[in-house]
Each structure stands twice: as structure tokens, then as C-alpha cells.
Amino acid sequence: MADDRPTPRYGELAPEGWVWSDAPQPEDPEPQTVEASAPKPYRVVDASISVFLLVTAVMFSSSSVPSLFGLRSTIDMFYADRGLGEYGGGSAVDIAGAVAAIAQLVLLAATIWLTVRLIGQRRRSWPVPLLMGALALIVTFGCLVLALVADPGLLASISSS
């Protein structure tokens, strides 16, 4: 259907329903430019707390891991101080110490990797070293308890007193 009405002149308002039929219609609409969102602000306090907790974790692990690998001598000194005799748990103390030390090292590596990644993404990162430190403490304590419970002499000594 062709519109037979005259075309409006420059500055005139077109009558209602008027459509330019000879105007070129774009086949592809122009691509919309997506505005880049502003980067998240850098969390200085969060990053500072995270780095402090990571340094504390590294210092703690560097002193505790070697002693966990030598847990037998620590247990022997504990037994000698308390007058409990000889440790009778066999190799349980060596296995428990090695498991605790390796778990601490793995958790420390995971903590460093995850915390640095979160800091780079400008997200909250301080809970990661805090929670991983608590997990490492629980695992270490659990391994020590298992090493002590493996000695039937200690259990008999505790139950008799």
C-alpha cells in the first residue's frame, strides 16, 4: 500500500500515521556498546589483615612442621616427665605426626593460593586464612590425640587414676 499523501516539508509535522517509505532501513541494528563497569575498589584493610594472617600461618607452620615430623621424641619426653614409662603405640606416633605435618603444608599452600586469588579479584579474603588455620589446628590436634590414644599403657594409666 502506497501512501499518496504529499511528503511533509522540512520543519512541518507529518500527519498522523505517516511513514517514510523511501528511507533506507538498516538491516542489522548497530551493535550496542557495553560500557565497561568500573573496577571494584581495592580493599586495603582486608588485604592487610589477610597478609598478616598468611605471614602468621607461615611462621607457625615453619616451626610446627619439623616438630611434627619428630613427634616421637616429643612424646618420649612427655612420657618421661610424667613417669608413664615407654610409649607403647608402635609406629602410630610417626604416622600421626607425618599426617599432621603434611596436612598443615597442604592447607597452607591452599590458603596462600586462595587468599592471593581473592585479593587479586578484590573480594573479601581475610576469612580464608582464619578458617584454614582453624582447620589445620583441628587436624593437628586430632592427629596428636590419635597418637596418644594408640598407646594402651596411657589409657590404662588414665583410667586407673
Say how many domains are in the chain.
Answer: 1
Q: What's the whole-model pTM score?
A: 0.68
Would residue 6 count as lying in a domain?
no
pLDDT score recorded for residue 22: 66
Would residue 134 count as lying in a domain?
yes
Would residue 66 count as lying in a domain?
yes
Would residue 8 count as lying in a domain?
no
Which structural domain range is residue 104 located in? 44-160
pLDDT score recorded for residue 152: 83
In tens digits, what is the pLDDT along the chain, a chain of 161 residues? 566 777 767 767 777 776 767 656 556 555 555 566 777 777 889 999 999 999 999 999 999 999 999 888 888 888 888 887 888 878 889 999 999 999 999 999 999 999 999 999 889 999 999 999 999 999 999 999 998 888 887 777 777 76
pLDDT score recorded for residue 27: 65
d(CA 159, CA 136): 30
pLDDT score recorded for residue 24: 60
Any idea which residue has 509535522 for its cell?
Answer: 13
Would residue 7 count as lying in a domain?
no
Would residue 4 count as lying in a domain?
no
d(CA 85, CA 80): 7
pLDDT score recorded for residue 131: 95
Residue 107 has which C-alpha cell? 592447607
3-state secondary structure of 24: coil
Would residue 12 count as lying in a domain?
no
Would residue 36 count as lying in a domain?
no
pLDDT score recorded for residue 31: 57
